[in-house]
Structure 1
Amino acid sequence: MSLPRPWRLQRGDAFRQVRRQGRSWSNRWVVLFAWRPGGAGGDDPSRAGFTVGRRLGKAVRRNRVRRLLAEAYRQLAPRVEGGWWLVFVARDAAAGMDFGTARRAVEDVLRKARILRPPLAGGLRDAREDDGRDGRAGEG
């Protein structure tokens, strides 16, 4: 499933603007460039774009990495503060990543940028809670 149109950065000049005026954060797999336009408010959805260079391989591999990053962002998007323009640039290490790694990589750089809100309380429960264990040793 792709990102809804209002959540996407689509034009090349928008990508250049974010890279030129924004700040960057990175980890082993991805670099995040983030910029908040002057007129953007907190209620506007954040917009994201994904860049994968030819160094990562042929088109099939590049498109797979782009889809993984986009899906990871799509799942985290409700927790991202509004009004940001984001550009994710895949690094060489991203060529062989799976979805779990992509999700952790995207979440990590969004957290470093301090634009990822914590999960809502009362949402999905952790697997430890489902089996009756609460993590405390010696009780049971």
Structure 2
Amino acid sequence: MKKDYRIKDNKEFQTVFQKGISTANRQFVIYVLERDQTHFRIGLSVSKKIGNAVTRNRIKRLIRQFFLEHKDYVDLNKDYIIIARKPTSAMDYHEVTSSLRHVLKVAKVLKPKSKH
């Protein structure tokens, strides 16, 4: 993920939390905030309650990989904050992908893939 696609600053996180719309399922909470920009940005939050550093970093990698592979289907002019919940520590990539796809569809920010 390029630096332009990340939210790192605490002030930006707080803005998305306060002004954004949240959607959740059992594995993830996603905050979405409409922005005037040419590409989406994501911020990740994985609590220490979920596991050790190795586990938390693996979850972050899986989420980043999902957004890398689905960048053409995600609304571009939005900021996303993804908060991982406890069940994600035991999930593999396919489970993370289907869970993120589900919560993004519920939030109405994931465009359907075209069938070729």
| Structure 1 residue corresponding to 2:99, chosen from 87, 100, 105 | 105
> Deviation digits for residues 5-59 of structure 1, max 9, x if unmatched?
222112121111111110111111111010113xx05xx1111111100101111
SS at match of 1:104: helix
Whether 1:33 aligns to 2:31 is: yes
Matching residue of 1:24: 22
Matching residue of 1:115: 109
Aligned residue type for 1:107: R
Tell me the matched-pair count.
116
Whether 1:7 aligns to 2:5 is: yes
Matched residues, percent identical? Answer: 25
Matching residue of 2:46: 52
Relative to total residues, which structure has the larger strand share, 1 or 2? 2
Q: Which runs of 4+ in 1 moved over 3 A?
A: none
5+ residue gaps in structure 1?
123-140
**TM-score, normalised via structure 1 length:** 0.78
Q: Distance in 2 between matches of 1:58 and 1:81?
A: 32
- Structure 1 residue 4: Cα displacement: 2.1
Report the structure number with the largest CA radius of gyration.
1
Aligned residue type for 2:9: R
| Structure 2 residue corresponding to 1:68, chosen from 58, 62, 82 | 62
Q: Distance in 1 between matches of 2:64 and 2:41?
A: 11
* Higher RCO (Cα < 8 Å, 6 or more apart): 2
Aligned residue type for 2:46: V
**TM-score, normalised via structure 2 length:** 0.93
Matching residue of 1:89: 83
